[in-house]
Amino acid sequence: MRELGRRLAALLAPGDLVLLTGELGAGKTTLTRGLGEALGVRGAVTSPTFVIARVHPSLTGGPALVHVDAYRLGGGLDEMEDLDLDVSLPESVVVVEWGEGKVEDLSDARLQVVIGRTIGEERDRTADGESRERVSPGGLDGERDGADDTREVTVIGIGPRWAGQDLTPLVL
């Protein structure tokens, strides 16, 4: 996910809006961390769940990274207006985790990154045709060896900014 963030950063410019969708632990913040590394921003990119938004200024003269976690926000754009994202957007790259259905009106163009996660799930069929699920061993704290922890990522360009842009090389 970090490498995908690095690859994605090469396509981004000031004014770009990126929405990340995926379950808890899917890799949204890890992707954003790779994005921040490639953009050369200041500060550790960590989950902004409790502060809602963090601004990471550029150390290289590029755009700042505004990292938003809309998980705890129930409303749509009305609730997001307090964050002044519309003010930050023109000179920044704005990444919003859990933003689907909440921030689309910020821009007529955006990237939608949908992350699906499978953790060692397998399905066996019993003799009578019932499905039985097996999950790879792992501690209660979610620690896994990583071998069976896979992601399926879909990157969708929406609006005129992304029209005709081939995004398939992004996905590893």
Q: How many domains does the chain have?
A: 1
Please indicate, yes or no, if residue 140 is contained in any of the structural domains.
no
pTM of this prediction? Answer: 0.76
Is it the case that residue 138 has pLDDT exceeding 60? Answer: no
Residue closest to 5 by CA, chosen among 29, 47, 25, 35: 35
How do strand 64-69 and strand 92-97 relate by DSSP bridges?
parallel
CB half-sphere exposure, 115, CA atoms < 13 A: 28
Please indicate, yes or no, if residue 7 is contained in any of the structural domains.
yes
Please indicate, yes or no, if residue 171 is contained in any of the structural domains.
no
| CATH (domain of 81) | 3.40.50.300
Is it the case that residue 99 has pLDDT exceeding 70? Answer: yes
Please indicate, yes or no, if residue 73 is contained in any of the structural domains.
yes
- 103-136 per-position pLDDT tens digit: 888 888 999 999 998 776 544 444 444 433 333 3
